């Protein structure tokens, strides 16, 4: 007998999961969607998007959220110390008095020593979902705000999703814009 192609195997597992989930919803009643139940996170630095990215001379989103791979562009990525230090080298020379007035920059300085900023990732699909940022931004020309809300004008760090990025949400847009709705496009 020929071995089952791996894509079919994954699909079969997904279909079973859908049946189990459906049964759970019917038998157990509708539970609170995880999107609403997610407790707000804490971010290590009170990062202010508006101070960085708003206005005509604001820093481009891509300066800090660069795509880790030019071909697939799956991750937008959260910026690390070296990106911040392109502009904030000054923090190393700030006096304690000045640092006390800028707690965010004081924190940044601590993380320079540690070499790593432990940001919490807010938008994250499960491992079995394939989401290429590049296809949506460079090819489909969608604005970041369409999928993440008005981050540009946020004065607080992103603590919870503003947009519920469920499968239905992906599907609705794909149907409207005639993009692929094949299971294997998103479930490789």
Stretch 21-50 residues interacting with ligand HEC (CB under 6 A): 21, 43, 45, 47-49
- Tell how many helices (H) and how many strands (E) occur in the chain: 11, 0
Burial class, 133, CB count within 10 angstroms (exposed 0-12 / middle 13-18 / buried 19+): buried
Q: Which is nearer to ligand HEC, 3 or 154 (CB)?
A: 154
**Quick check: 133 and 50 in contact, CB under 8 A?**
no
Reduce the DSSP state of residue 21 to 3 states and report it: helix
Of 181, 63, 62, give the one whose Cα is nearest residue 133: 62
73 binds ligand HEC (CB under 6 A): no
Q: Which is nearer to ligand HEC, 2 or 177 (CB)?
A: 177
For ligand HEC, the binding residues in 110-149 under the rule CB under 6 A are: 119, 121-126, 129-133, 135-137, 139-140, 142, 144, 146-148
Size of site (CB under 6 A) for ligand HEC: 76
Of 10, 65, 72, 109, the residue at the interface with ligand HEC (CB under 6 A) is 65
State the minimum distance, in angstroms, from the CB of residue 2 to ligand HEC: 23
């Amino acid at each position: 007998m020929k071995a089952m192609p791996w894509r079919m195997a994954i699909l079969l597992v997904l279909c079973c999961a859908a049946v189990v989930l459906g049964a759970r919803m019917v038998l157990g009643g509708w539970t609170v969607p995880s999107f609403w139940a997610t407790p707000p996170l804490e971010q290590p630095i009170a990062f202010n998007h508006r101070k960085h990215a708003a206005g005509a001379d604001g820093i481009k989103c891509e300066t800090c959220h660069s795509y880790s791979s030019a071909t697939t562009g799956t991750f937008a990525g959260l910026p690390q110390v070296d990106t911040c230090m392109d502009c904030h080298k000054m923090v190393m020379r700030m006096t304690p008095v000045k640092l006390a007035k800028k707690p965010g920059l004081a924190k940044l300085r601590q993380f320079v020593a540690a070499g790593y900023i432990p940001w919490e990732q807010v938008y994250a699909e499960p491992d079995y979902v394939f989401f290429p940022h590049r296809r949506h931004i460079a090819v489909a020309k969608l604005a970041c705000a369409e999928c993440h809300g008005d981050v540009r004008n946020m004065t607080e760090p992103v603590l919870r999703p503003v947009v519920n990025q469920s499968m239905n949400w992906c599907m609705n847009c794909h149907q409207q814009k005639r993009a692929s709705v094949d299971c294997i496009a998103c479930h490789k």
